[in-house]
Amino acid sequence: METSIPASEQTSCGKEDPRVCCFEDTGGAEAVQVADCENPEDSRPQEEPGCCNPENSGQLMASYEGKAKGYLVPPFGWRICLAHEFAEKRKPFDANNISLSNMIKLVGVGFRYFQWWYQKTRVEKKTPFIDMLNSVPLRQIYGCPLGGIGGGTITRGWRGQFCRWQLNPGMYQHQTVIADQFTVCLRREGQTVYQQVLSLERPSVLRSWNWGLCGFFAFYHALYPRAWTVYQLPGQNVTLTCRQITPILPHDYQDSSLPVGVFVWDVENEGDEALDVSIMFTMRNGLGGRDDAPGGLWNEPFCLERDGETVQGLLLHHPTPPNPYTMAMAARLTADTTVTHITAFDPDSTGQQVWQDLLQDGQLDSPAGRSTPSQKGVGIAGAVCVAAKLPPRGRCCLEFSLAWDMPRIVFGAKGQVYYRRYTRFFGQDGSAAPALSHYALCRYADWEERISAWQSPILEDRSLPAWYKSALFNELYFLADGGTVWLEVPEDALTEEPEGGMRQLRPMLREYGRFGYLEGQEYRMYNTYDVHFYASFALIMLWPKLELSLQYDMALATLKEDLTPRRYLMSGLTAPVKRRNVIPHDIGDPDDEPWLRVNAYVIHDTADWKDLNLKFVLQVYRDYYLTGDQGFLRDMWPVCLAVMESEMEFDKDHDGLIENGGYADQTYDGWVTTGPSAYCGGLWLAAVAVMVQMATLCEAQDIQEKFSSILSRGKEAYERLLWNGRYYNYDSSSQPQSRSIMSDQCAGQWFLRACGLGEGDTEVFPTPHVVRALQTIFEFNVQAFAGGAMGAVNGMQPHGVPDTSSVQSDEVWVGVVYGLAATMIQEGLTSKGFWTAEGCYRTVWERLGLAFQTPEAYCQQRVFRSLAYMRPLSIWAMQLALQQQQSRKASRPVVELNTGPKARPKGATANLSPE
Q: What is the CATH number of the domain that holds 317?
A: 2.70.98
CATH number at residue 549: 1.50.10.10
Residues 447 and 493 in one domain: no
Average pLDDT of the segment spanning 347-363: 97
| CA–CA–CA angle 802, 805, 807 (5° rounding) | 90
Contact assessment for residue 216 and residue 390, using Cβ atoms and an 8 Å cutoff: no
Which of these three, 453, 473, 506, is where a domain ends? 453
Q: How far apart are CA 65 and CA 893, in angstroms?
A: 48
Residues 411 and 515 in one domain: no
State the pLDDT at residue 490: 84
Which of these three, 395, 428, 453, is where a domain ends? 453
Residue 12 included in any domain = no
What is the per-residue DSSP string for 845-895?
IIIS--TT---SEE-SSSEEESSSBSGGGGHHHHHHHHHHHHHHHTTS---
Radius of gyration (Cα) for the chain, nearest Å? 28
pLDDT band for position 492 (50/70/90)?
confident
State the pLDDT at residue 892: 56
Average pLDDT of the segment spanning 41-61: 45
Residue 424 has pLDDT above 80, yes or no: yes
Q: How far apart are CA 89 and CA 173, in angstroms?
A: 21
State the pLDDT at residue 328: 98
Residue 402 has pLDDT above 80, yes or no: yes
State the pLDDT at residue 361: 97
State the pLDDT at residue 100: 87
Q: How far apart are CA 290 and CA 321, in angstroms?
A: 12
- 8-state DSSP, 137: P
SS3 534: helix
What is the per-residue DSSP string for 536-552?
HHHHHHH-HHHHHHHHH
CA torsion angle 872 873 877 878 (round to 10): 60
pLDDT band for position 891 (50/70/90)?
low
| Sign of the alpha-carbon torsion through 806, 807, 810, 813 | negative
Residue 29 has pLDDT above 60, yes or no: no
Residue 799 has pLDDT above 60, yes or no: yes
Residues 703 and 562 in one domain: yes
Contact assessment for residue 839 and residue 471, using Cβ atoms and an 8 Å cutoff: no
What is the per-residue DSSP string for 729-749?
-SBSSSSGGGG-EETTTTHHH
Residue 730 has pLDDT above 60, yes or no: yes
Residues 397 and 518 in one domain: no
- Residues found in the chain: 915
What is the per-residue DSSP string for 260-326?
EEEEEEEEEE-SSS-EEEEEEEEEESS-SSTTTTT---EEEEEEEEETTEEEEEEEEEE--SSS-EE
Contact assessment for residue 267 and residue 278, using Cβ atoms and an 8 Å cutoff: no
Choose among 56, 385, 38: nearest CA to 46: 56
Average pLDDT of the segment spanning 253-265: 98
Q: Please give the tally of structural domains in the chain.
A: 2
Residue type, 329: M
Q: How far apart are CA 875 and CA 877, in angstroms?
A: 5
- Quick one: what percent of the chain has pLDDT higher than 70? 90
Residues 732 and 838 in one domain: yes
Residue type, 571: S
- 8-state DSSP, 905: P
pLDDT tens-digit map of 12-24: 343 333 322 222 2
Residues 624 and 721 in one domain: yes
Residue 49 included in any domain = no
State the pLDDT at residue 48: 34
Average pLDDT of the segment spanning 26-37: 30
State the pLDDT at residue 889: 79
Average pLDDT of the segment spanning 593-621: 98
Residue 184 included in any domain = yes
Residues 437 and 574 in one domain: no
Q: How far apart are CA 806 and CA 898, in angstroms?
A: 33
State the pLDDT at residue 501: 79
Residue 406 included in any domain = yes
Residues 811 and 734 in one domain: yes
**Which of these ranges, 82-86, 216-220, 490-494, has the smallest mean pLDDT?**
490-494
Residue 750 has pLDDT above 60, yes or no: yes
To which H or E segment does residue 338 belong?
strand 337-345
Q: How far apart are CA 758 and CA 587, in angstroms?
A: 31
pLDDT tens-digit map of 706-724: 999 999 999 999 999 999 9
Residue 90 included in any domain = no
**Which of these ranges, 81-95, 299-313, 731-745, 892-906, has the smallest mean pLDDT?**
892-906
Q: Phi-psi region for residue 369, left (φ > 0), alpha (ψ -120 to 50) or beta?
A: left
CB atoms within 10 A of CB 895: 12
Which of these three, 430, 453, 476, is where a domain ends? 453
- Quick one: what percent of the chain has pLDDT higher than 90? 87
Q: How far apart are CA 711 and CA 657, in angstroms?
A: 8
Q: How far apart are CA 196 and CA 155, in angstroms?
A: 22
**Which of these ranges, 7-11, 91-95, 248-252, has the smallest mean pLDDT?**
7-11
Residue 776 included in any domain = yes
Q: Which residue has the higher pLDDT, 914 or 537?
A: 537
pLDDT tens-digit map of 149-201: 999 999 999 999 999 999 999 999 999 999 999 999 999 999 999 999 999 99
Q: Which residue has the higher pLDDT, 807 or 30?
A: 807
Domain that holds residue 215: 78-85+136-453
Residue 123 included in any domain = no
pLDDT tens-digit map of 857-888: 999 999 999 999 999 999 999 999 999 999 88
Average pLDDT over all residues of the chain = 91
Q: Which residue has the higher pLDDT, 387 or 10?
A: 387
Residue 68 included in any domain = no
State the pLDDT at residue 495: 67
State the pLDDT at residue 491: 79
Residues 501 and 449 in one domain: no
What per-residue string of b and e applies to 411-433 under the rule 16 or more CB within 10 Å gives b?
Answer: bbbeeeebbbbbbeebeeebebb
Average pLDDT of the segment spanning 451-463: 97
Residues 851 and 710 in one domain: yes
How is the beta sheet containing 153-156 ordered, strand by strand?
A: 145-146, 153-156, 162-166, 173-174
State the pLDDT at residue 890: 62
State the pLDDT at residue 497: 66
Residues 758 and 843 in one domain: yes
| Sign of the alpha-carbon torsion through 798, 802, 803, 804 | negative
Residues 425 and 544 in one domain: no
Average pLDDT of the segment spanning 558-567: 97
Residue 913 has pLDDT above 70, yes or no: no
